[in-house]
C-alpha cells in the first residue's frame, strides 16, 4: 500500500497576524513529489499550524492521494487531529474539524508529531511565503537552494 507523506509547518508574525504554511511532499520511497508555501492570516501560532495542516490535506485531496501520513511539529494540532478533545484552543477547533472532514476522503491516514528540527525545511518555506501574496507550489523542479536543503534534511531523492 503506497502512501504520501506531508510535512507541514507554519510561520506566524504576531504583530501583523500574517501566517504562512510550508509543505514538503514525499512518496513512500522517499522521492520528493512537491513543495509549497501558502500565505494567509491567523489569530495565533496554533491556528497557523492548524491551517498549515489543512493546506497539506487539501493538496493531497486535490491530487487524489488515498493513503496519507501527516507530520507536524505542533503537538497540540497533531493531538487534535488524532481526536484528543481539548488539545487546541476553541478558536482553532473549526480548522481541526475541517481537517477531519477532509481526512474522510482517504483509505488510510495518520498524523504524527515530529520535533521542530526534523521539520526545519517546512518552516524555511513558510518564512519565504511571508514575502509573497499568493501560494507557490513546485511539482517538477525545485529551486536549487531548496532542492539541496530538502535532500539534506529529508534524505530524499529528486
Note the pLDDT tens digit of each residue in 41-50.
999 999 999 9
Dump pLDDT digits (tens) for 112-140.
999 998 888 888 888 866 667 788 888 76
Domain annotation for the chain: domains and CATH numbers: 4-151 (3.30.420.10)
For residue 33, name the pLDDT band (cuts at 50, 70, 90). confident
Global pTM? 0.88
Q: What is the mean pLDDT of residues 59-85?
A: 96
Taking the C-alpha atoms of residue 129 and residue 73, their distance in angstroms, rounded to an integer, is 18
User: Residue range 84-110: average pLDDT?
Assistant: 96
Look up residue 45 and give its three cell numbers.
Answer: 501560532
Burial class from Cβ neighbours inside 10 Å (0-12, 13-18, 19+) for residue 45 reads middle
Report whether pLDDT(156) > 60: no
Residues 111/82, Cβ–Cβ less than 8 Å: yes
Q: Is the pLDDT of residue 59 over 60?
A: yes
pLDDT above 90: residue 92: yes
Cell (9 digits) for 142: 525545485
Between 149 and 27, residue with greater pLDDT? 27
- Residue 43 vs residue 154, higher pLDDT: 43
Amino acid at each position: 500500500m503506497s502512501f504520501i507523506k506531508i510535512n507541514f509547518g507554519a510561520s506566524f508574525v504576531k504583530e501583523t497576524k500574517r501566517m504562512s504554511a510550508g509543505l514538503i511532499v514525499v512518496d513512500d520511497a522517499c522521492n520528493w513529489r512537491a513543495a509549497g508555501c501558502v500565505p494567509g492570516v491567523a489569530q495565533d501560532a496554533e491556528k497557523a499550524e492548524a491551517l498549515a495542516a489543512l493546506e497539506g490535506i487539501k493538496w493531497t485531496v486535490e491530487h487524489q492521494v488515498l493513503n496519507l501520513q501527516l507530520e507536524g511539529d505542533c503537538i497540540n494540532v497533531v493531538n487534535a487531529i488524532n481526536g484528543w478533545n481539548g488539545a487546541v484552543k476553541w478558536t482553532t477547533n473549526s480548522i481541526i474539524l475541517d481537517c477531519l472532514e477532509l481526512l474522510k476522503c482517504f483509505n488510510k491516514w495518520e498524523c504524527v508529531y515530529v520535533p521542530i528540527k526534523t521539520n526545519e525545511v517546512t518552516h524555511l518555506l513558510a518564512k519565504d511565503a511571508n514575502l509573497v501574496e499568493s501560494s507557490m507550489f513546485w511539482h517538477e523542479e525545485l529551486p536549487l537552494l531548496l532542492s539541496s536543503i530538502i535532500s539534506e534534511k529529508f534524505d530524499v531523492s529528486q
